[in-house]
């Protein structure tokens, strides 16, 4: 009898403990205050994980576009080389290096048209420098920094990867009237002709004197950039920079 009584008491105690445990379990997951607190804690932990994610870097410029933006904050890949480069069939300055006389096909065609039109109007333009690979720009920039210091170099010379010359869409030019690559070219008939006519052939004066705060480069009257006729005419008529035209002035 004692054994039977002991077994019955044990069963009763175990049943009571199970009941209390189940009740507490149900309360924990049905009580709005408790469940709400659990959700907030979970959400908070996710937020903390996200806050540790690094900010994504800017994507590389779209080199397939004629209006691709290449500047100090929008750089080309070290390995980028245009696939359609060809020698521009125009007259170059006698000191122009033979390995910097190429442009992308559409820009080269436009440059030849520009030079021809200038010739018809009595202006003999001279090419100075077109496409320059990353490694070439690296040498130019390093030499300028050693000669004049970084602050002065950054006014005119682009760091490797940030030079429009690597895009194959830019050209430095002068004329038989003036053959020094400096601001003096702005006082020539050739420069005045360029301002009035370059857009007809898809080119713009890339670094205007009044837009230094936007382009971050000093005035370069000798540097033209191919962007296509529609964009060029819009930019030149409105007195914009490529940055302003694209709405990217960071």
Query: Rounded mean pLDDT of 109-136?
Result: 98
Q: Return the structure tokens found at 86.
A: 């060809």
- The model scores a pTM over 0.85: no
Q: Return the structure tokens found at 47.
A: 């937020």
pLDDT tens by residue, 93-114:
999 999 999 999 999 999 999 9
**Residue 134, helix vs strand vs coil:** helix
> Catalytic pick from 139, 164, 210, 220?
220
CA 119 to chain centre: 35
Active-site residue 159, yes or no? no
pLDDT tens by residue, 196-220:
999 999 999 999 999 999 999 999 9
**Three-state SS letters, 213-238:** HHHCCCCEEEEEEECCHHHHHHHHHH
């Amino acid at each position: 009898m004692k054994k039977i009584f002991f077994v019955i008491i044990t069963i009763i105690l175990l049943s009571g403990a199970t009941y209390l445990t189940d009740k507490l379990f149900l309360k924990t997951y049905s009580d709005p205050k408790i469940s709400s607190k659990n959700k907030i804690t979970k959400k908070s932990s996710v937020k903390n994980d996200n806050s540790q994610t690094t900010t994504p870097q800017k994507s590389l410029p779209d080199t397939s576009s004629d209006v691709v933006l290449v500047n100090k904050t929008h750089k080309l890949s070290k390995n980028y080389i245009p696939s359609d480069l060809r020698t521009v069939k125009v007259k170059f300055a006698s000191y122009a290096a033979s390995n910097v006389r190429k442009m992308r096909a559409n820009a080269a065609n436009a440059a030849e048209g520009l030079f021809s039109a200038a010739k018809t109007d009595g202006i003999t333009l001279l090419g100075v420098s077109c496409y320059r690979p990353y490694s070439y720009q690296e040498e130019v920039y390093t030499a300028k920094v050693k000669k004049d210091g970084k602050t002065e170099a950054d006014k005119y010379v682009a760091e490797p990867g940030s030079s429009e010359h690597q895009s194959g869409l830019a050209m430095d030019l002068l004329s038989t009237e003036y053959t020094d690559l400096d601001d003096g070219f702005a006082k020539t008939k050739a420069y005045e002709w360029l301002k009035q006519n370059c857009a007809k052939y898809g080119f713009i004066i890339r670094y205007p004197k009044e837009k230094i705060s936007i382009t971050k480069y000093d005035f370069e009257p000798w540097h033209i950039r191919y962007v296509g006729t529609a964009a060029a005419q819009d930019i030149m008529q409105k007195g914009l920079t490529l940055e302003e035209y694209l709405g990217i002035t960071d």
